[in-house]
Amino acid sequence: MSLLKWAFVFLIISIIAAVFGFGGVAAGAADIAQILFVVFLIGFFVLLLLGLTVYKKVT
């Protein structure tokens, strides 16, 4: 969950920087937020797939 939290932190930083006119900082923070969100989604889907297949409880 902390990875998603950091993505939102960088998203907020990029929005605040954009409001104050710091275009380079805003673009950099937005790129970092996007990368972290994609990494979070990939990890979520991998763990979801593993949970549905490999780690199923055998009865």
Q: What is the pLDDT of residues 30-57, one digit of tens each?
A: 888 889 889 989 999 998 888 888 877 6
Which residue has tokens 């763990």?
A: 47
Measured CA to CA, the distance from residue 44 to residue 3 in angstroms comes to 11
The domain tally of the chain equals 1
Token pair of 3, please? Answer: 């990875």
pTM: 0.70
In a domain, 14, yes or no: yes
Domain span at residue 44 reads: 2-52
In a domain, 41, yes or no: yes
In a domain, 19, yes or no: yes
**pLDDT tens for each residue of 13-36:** 888 888 888 888 888 888 888 898
